[in-house]
Amino acid sequence: MTRDVLAGAERHPWNVAFEFALPSGPPRTLTADQVAAYARDGYITVDELLGPADLGVLVAELDEYEARVDRFLARQDGGRVNIAEQGAITFSIHAVLQSDAARATARHPTIVGIAADLLGPDVNLYWDQAVYKKTEKPRSFPWHQDTGYTFVEPQAYLTCWLALTDATIDNGCPWIVPGVHRLGTLRHRWVEPIGWQCLDDPPGAVAAPVPAGGAVVFSSLTPHSTGPNTTDATRKAYILQYAVAGTQVLEGDPREGPPSGRVPQDVPDRQFPVLRDGRPMVR
Q: Which pLDDT does position 87 carry in this prediction? A: 86
Cis check: omega of the bond before 154, within 30 degrees of 0: yes
Write the CB contacts of 64 (distance below 8 Å, at least 6 apart in sequence): none
pLDDT at 195: 77
Q: Which residues fall within 8 angstroms of residue 79, CB to CB, at 6 or more apart?
A: 73, 85, 86, 87
Long-range contacts of residues 208-211, Cβ cutoff 8 Å, at least 24 apart: 208/43, 208/45, 208/173, 208/174, 208/175, 208/176, 209/166, 209/167, 209/168, 209/169, 209/173, 210/45, 210/46, 210/47, 210/163, 210/166, 210/167, 210/173, 211/47, 211/48, 211/163, 211/166, 211/167
Confidence class of residue 139 from pLDDT cuts 50, 70 and 90? confident
Q: Report the 10 Å Cβ neighbour count for 48.
A: 12
Cα distances (Å, whole numbers) of residue 266 to 38, 68, 127, 158, 242: 26, 27, 11, 16, 12
Res 82: pLDDT: 83
User: Is residue 6 over pLDDT 70?
Assistant: no
The residue ranking higher by pLDDT, 124 or 195, is 124
Q: Given this model, what pLDDT does residue 193 score?
A: 64
Task: Give the pLDDT confidence score for residue 141 in this predicted structure.
Answer: 80
List pLDDT tens digits, range 145-169.
999 999 999 999 999 999 999 999 9
| pLDDT score, position 83 | 82
pLDDT at 2: 57
What whole-number percentage of the chain has pLDDT above 70? 96
Q: How far apart are the first and last CA of the chain?
A: 44
Q: Could you tell me the pLDDT band of residue 59, with boundaries at 50, 70 and 90?
A: very high
Query: What does the pLDDT look like over 205-257, one tens digit per residue?
Result: 999 999 999 999 999 999 999 999 999 999 999 999 999 999 999 999 998 99
Residues facing residue 224 across a β-bridge? 144, 176
Q: What is the DSSP letter of 41?
A: H
Residue 1 has pLDDT above 90, yes or no: no
**Average pLDDT estimate for 107-112:** 97
Q: Please check the confidence at residue 84 and state whether its pLDDT lies above 90.
A: no
Confidence band for 125, pLDDT divided at 50, 70 and 90: very high
Gap between the Cα atoms of 128 and 239, Å rounded: 5
Task: Encode pLDDT of 32-48 as tens digits.
Answer: 999 999 999 999 999 99
At residue 196, the pLDDT reads 85
pLDDT at 131 over 80: yes
Packed helices 32-41 and 109-119: angle between N→C axes, nearest 10 degrees: 60
**Residue 78 confidence class, pLDDT cut points 50, 70, 90:** confident
CATH for 2-21+28-276 is 2.60.120.620
> Which has the closest alpha carbon to 61: 112, 10, 101?
101
In the sheet that holds 141-144, the strands lie side by side as 141-144, 224-226, 174-176, 206-207
Longest dimension (CA), the chain: 52
pLDDT at 96 over 60: yes
State the average pLDDT over residues 133-143: 85
Q: What is the pTM of this model?
A: 0.95
- Is the pLDDT reported for residue 137 higher than 90? no
